[in-house]
Amino acid sequence: MGGGSGCRRRVPPAFAPGDVFRASRLSSGNHLFPTQVLISATSVVQYKPRWIGRQEEVIHMAHVASVKIDTGLVLSNIEIESSGGSDSILCHGHHKADAVKMKALIEQYQSDYYRSRPVAPIT
């Protein structure tokens, strides 16, 4: 939300509240239409713009199983695995600081999500 490396920007209120991380245009497959990842308190959304239309993948925060970061010299790739049976979200070409921030936000939102849920009594 503000500041940083310039790859992160606040999402317009009409789309959804949360943080958007945009892949570097220098990375493979992101030259014209860089992939964007929205991380909110409830879900992770990968947004891939195209010439005509777009592709979106969504994983609810309760279904995020793990977050893996593969770090290169300058850019990182992130894999967000789902426990809900859907495919993982693969994000290529994000700056290292953004990748670390993405993982930290997901972990924070998952902790908040599970802390706020009432615990069922054991019978």
- The tens place of each residue's pLDDT in the chain, 123 residues long, gives 444 444 454 444 435 667 888 887 767 666 677 888 899 988 888 888 778 877 788 888 888 889 999 988 888 999 999 887 778 888 888 889 999 999 999 999 988 888 876 666 676
Instruction: Determine contact, residues 30/92, Cβ cutoff 8 Å.
Output: yes
- The token pair that represents 55 in the structure block: 């592709």
Q: Give the long-range contacts of residues 76-81, CB within 8 A, separation 24 or more.
A: 78/37, 78/102, 78/103, 80/44, 80/106
Which H/E stretch holds residue 100?
Answer: helix 96-116
Count the Cβ atoms, other than its own, within 10 Å of residue 113. 15
d(Cα 117, Cα 112) in Å, to the nearest integer? 9
pTM of the predicted protein model = 0.74
d(Cα 24, Cα 28) in Å, to the nearest integer? 9
